[in-house]
């Protein structure tokens, strides 16, 4: 009788487990559909599945003796798009630079594409390819990277040490412990939630007009957060190897990066030719926020000093 009872308990437990797995499968599917449908309603997409206005751009500049022979590669941040670099791009173009702002893999797309293609290796490969393509065409190519784009720019500088000059806009280097725990929590939540709403993004841009124009989805996954961490930690590991002349721009009101961490990362930079400039009145995405004119002016002046 006891064996019959034990078998019945085992069968019941198995049925409960199977039922739970089936219920969780349908729950995850429902959550995925809800997030993807809301994202599709919020944005318009072109034939390639890119959000309108988010695509990368290349703008050529002309000088008195013909087309500019100097180019700047602009790298946007994690969960952002090339749109955040457009104002800076127009200002650099007006100063005589050809500008190229690629859309990093997995960004500015439908959520399913973001989840599948947002990988650290792909971002790094894309940046190398973009820089090498520009270098084959232009006499001088410099790089400006914002947030995760700044971390990618640091990695590029270690592989292309001939880079004339670098500008880091609130570079996302390393990952604070509380965010490490958030990544860990995202993997636990992944059992039931394939997508998560990003936290704190509304504070990244103080200017309400620029915030409304932003094309970032505000959605992440456990995997994409992990890929961000990989880039940030890789960049932190190579700081001392970066010998390129570097301008480091950071807001004191940055909601993603503390002043303490920014100062520590700047100090760790291996370059003997470096400058840290503090900004006020803006958040993390400083290329598009209230301080965008100061960012553009400081960036252009720094690049002008290192023209080859």
User: Tell me, what's the pLDDT at 26?
Assistant: 73
Mean of the per-residue pLDDT values of the chain: 91
User: Tell me, what's the pLDDT at 9?
Assistant: 56
Q: Are 152 and 80 in contact (CB under 8 A)?
A: no
Q: What is the mean pLDDT of residues 7-17?
A: 50
**Which DSSP symbol is given to 200?**
S
Q: What three-state secondary structure class fits 217?
A: coil
Q: What is the mean pLDDT of residues 30-45?
A: 94
Q: Is 76 exposed, middle or buried (0-12, 13-18, 19+ CB in 10 A)?
A: buried
CATH of the domain at 232: 3.40.50.1820
Q: What is the mean pLDDT of residues 57-62?
A: 90
Between 47 and 178, the higher pLDDT residue: 47
Q: Is the dihedral of CA 264, 267, 271, 277 positive or negative?
A: positive
Residue 5 domain-assigned?
A: no
Residue 122 domain-assigned?
A: yes
Split into its structural domains, the chain has a count of: 1
Residue 10 domain-assigned?
A: no
Residue 216 domain-assigned?
A: yes
Residue 32 domain-assigned?
A: no
Inform me whether the pLDDT recorded for 269 exceeds 90.
yes
**Confidence at 16, pLDDT banded by 50, 70, 90:** very low
Enclosing domain of residue 208: 57-304
Residue 152 domain-assigned?
A: yes
Q: What is the mean pLDDT of residues 270-279?
A: 97
Q: What is the pLDDT of residues 246-268, one digit of tens each?
A: 999 999 999 999 999 999 999 99
What radius of gyration do the chain's Cα atoms show? 22
Q: What is the pLDDT of residues 82-106, one digit of tens each?
A: 999 999 999 999 999 999 999 999 9
Distance CA 58, CA 19 (A): 53
Q: What is the mean pLDDT of residues 20-45?
A: 83
Between 228 and 175, the higher pLDDT residue: 228
**Which DSSP symbol is given to 103?**
P
Q: Are 61 and 96 in contact (CB under 8 A)?
A: yes
**Confidence at 202, pLDDT banded by 50, 70, 90:** confident
CA atoms within 13 A on the CB side of 24: 12
User: Tell me, what's the pLDDT at 29?
Assistant: 87
């Amino acid at each position: 009788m006891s064996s019959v009872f034990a078998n019945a308990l085992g069968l019941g437990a198995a049925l409960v487990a199977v039922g739970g797995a089936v219920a969780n499968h349908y729950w995850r599917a429902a959550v995925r559909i809800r997030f993807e449908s809301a994202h599709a309603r919020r944005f318009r997409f072109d034939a390639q599945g890119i959000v309108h206005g988010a695509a990368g751009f290349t703008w050529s500049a002309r000088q008195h003796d013909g087309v500019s022979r100097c180019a700047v590669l602009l790298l946007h941040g994690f969960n952002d798009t090339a749109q955040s670099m457009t104002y800076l791009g127009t200002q650099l173009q007006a100063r005589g630079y050809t500008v190229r702002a690629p859309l990093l893999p997995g960004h500015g797309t439908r959520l399913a594409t973001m989840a599948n293609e947002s990988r650290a290796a792909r971002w790094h490969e894309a940046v190398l390819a973009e820089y090498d393509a520009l270098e084959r065409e232009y006499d001088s190519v410099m790089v400006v990277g914002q947030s995760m784009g700044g971390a990618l720019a640091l990695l590029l500088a270690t592989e292309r040490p001939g880079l004339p000059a670098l500008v880091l806009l609130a570079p996302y280097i390393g990952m604070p412990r509380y965010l490490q725990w958030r990544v860990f929590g995202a993997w636990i939540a992944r059992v039931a939630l394939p997508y998560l709403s990003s936290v704190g993004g509304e504070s990244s841009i103080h200017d309400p007009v620029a915030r409304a124009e932003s094309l970032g989805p505000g959605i992440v996954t456990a995997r994409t957060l992990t890929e961000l961490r990989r880039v940030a930690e890789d960049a932190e590991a190579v700081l001392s190897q970066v010998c390129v002349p570097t301008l480091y721009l950071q807001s004191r009101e940055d909601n993603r990066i503390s002043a303490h961490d920014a100062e520590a990362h700047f100090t760790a930079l291996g370059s003997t030719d470096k400058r840290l400039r503090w900004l006020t009145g803006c958040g993390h995405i400083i290329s598009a926020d209230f301080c965008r004119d100061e960012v553009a002016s400081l960036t252009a002046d720094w690049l002008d000093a290192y023209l080859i």
